[in-house]
Amino acid sequence: MDSWTPEGGDETIVYFESDPAGAAVLVNGRIICPKTPCSRMVSQGRNEISMQMENYVPQTKVGAIKKGSKIRYVLEPDFGYLTVRGNYSVAVKLDGQSIENLPIEKRIISPGPHQVEHTDQCFHPSGEKFTIKRGENRTINLDLKAKESAIRVVATCKDTGDALEAEVFVDGKRVGKSPGTFKVPLCSKEVVVKKQTNEFKQTLRLQEKKVTTIDAKLKPSGLKWSKKAPSRMNWSDAMKYCENLKEDGHSAWRLPTISELRTLIKNCPATQTGGACSSPCLER
């Protein structure tokens, strides 16, 4: 009578681990575990054990499996890390494909030659060609230089046409006083012209290396006028009077400028810009 041995009696539990975790396990070319860590029944004896994971070099070893075996592979990265920085947050292309805006921190990238460049039309072209090795950390700093344009700013009083000195701001940054011409980045978005509490705003649409004129017409200041003084005064006495005046809850009074006085009188050519201050119109 022939002896008979049931199949499968030589199997044992094997524990599989990888660094990093998440590798697929193959035994003799067949996937038995989709992701480490895991444990599976494996025939004892000589077996080919492989571990595979995206962006890592596959690792294969042949060895004997025994009861209580634990198999752990350390996988070699099949990539490098790319960091790209710059002084502006602009869109970036890697090997001709758009990826993300700066800054880019430790992006996984395959070994070999590459090219990184920005795609923003507001800046002069800049980029770099490089070759990265397995496990390498590469940092690239893009030198972003803005294309240039300019604005010529003239500020006037909307009612009188008087020329005014006013503070000029571009995208929140002070660039000087009007009248004046100021060099600004091509893609500047907004100019603001301020005189005391009044301001003029305009959206900018600039062209490279061309001057755009900004005609800022400011409304009258909306000054608060005191009631008529009790008597006529000379200049010196009038200044002291204003310094000590308290009226309607206000104490910061001052003498008006000629331009401010002109806003009180309408339809009198002599009080317009260039008119005589001693006009009969002022004496009425």
The predicted structure's pLDDT at residue 275: 61
The predicted structure's pLDDT at residue 200: 94
Q: Which amino acid makes up residue 41? A: M
Distances (CA, A) of 123 to 143, 144, 245: 10, 6, 56
Confidence of residue 281 (pLDDT cuts 50, 70, 90): very low
The predicted structure's pLDDT at residue 3: 64
Does residue 238 have a pLDDT over 90? Answer: no
Confidence of residue 187 (pLDDT cuts 50, 70, 90): very high
The residue that leads in pLDDT, 78 or 238, is: 78
Confidence of residue 282 (pLDDT cuts 50, 70, 90): very low
Q: Nearest Cα to 157, choosing from 228, 223, 204, 252?
A: 223
Does residue 279 have a pLDDT over 90? Answer: no
The predicted structure's pLDDT at residue 170: 97
The predicted structure's pLDDT at residue 278: 45
Instruction: For domain 11-74, say whether CATH 2.60.40.1120 is its number.
Output: yes
For 47, the token pair is 């077996």
148-218 has which fold? Immunoglobulin-like (2.60.40)
Contact between 155 and 165 (Cβ < 8 Å): yes
Name the residue ranges covered by the structural domains of the chain. Answer: 11-74, 80-142, 148-218, 225-273
Does residue 166 have a pLDDT over 90? Answer: yes
Does residue 4 have a pLDDT over 70? Answer: no
Does residue 14 have a pLDDT over 80? Answer: yes
Which residue pairs from 214-217 have beta carbons closer than 8 angstroms and sit at least 24 positions apart in sequence? 214/151, 214/152, 214/153, 214/154, 215/154, 215/156, 216/153, 216/154, 216/155, 216/156, 216/166, 216/178, 217/155, 217/156, 217/157, 217/158
In CATH terms, the superfamily for domain 80-142 is Carboxypeptidase-like, regulatory domain (2.60.40.1120)
How far apart, in whole angstroms, are the C-alpha atoms of residue 164 and residue 216? 10
The predicted structure's pLDDT at residue 273: 58
Contact between 161 and 220 (Cβ < 8 Å): no
Mean pLDDT of the chain, nearest integer: 88
Does residue 222 have a pLDDT over 70? Answer: no
Does residue 246 have a pLDDT over 50? Answer: yes
Does residue 220 have a pLDDT over 80? Answer: no
The predicted structure's pLDDT at residue 1: 56
Does residue 280 have a pLDDT over 60? Answer: no
The predicted structure's pLDDT at residue 202: 96
- In this chain, the answer to whether the domains covering 80-142 and 148-218 adopt an identical fold is yes
Percent of the chain with pLDDT over 90: 67
Ramachandran area for residue 28 (φ above 0: left; ψ -120 to 50: alpha; else beta): left
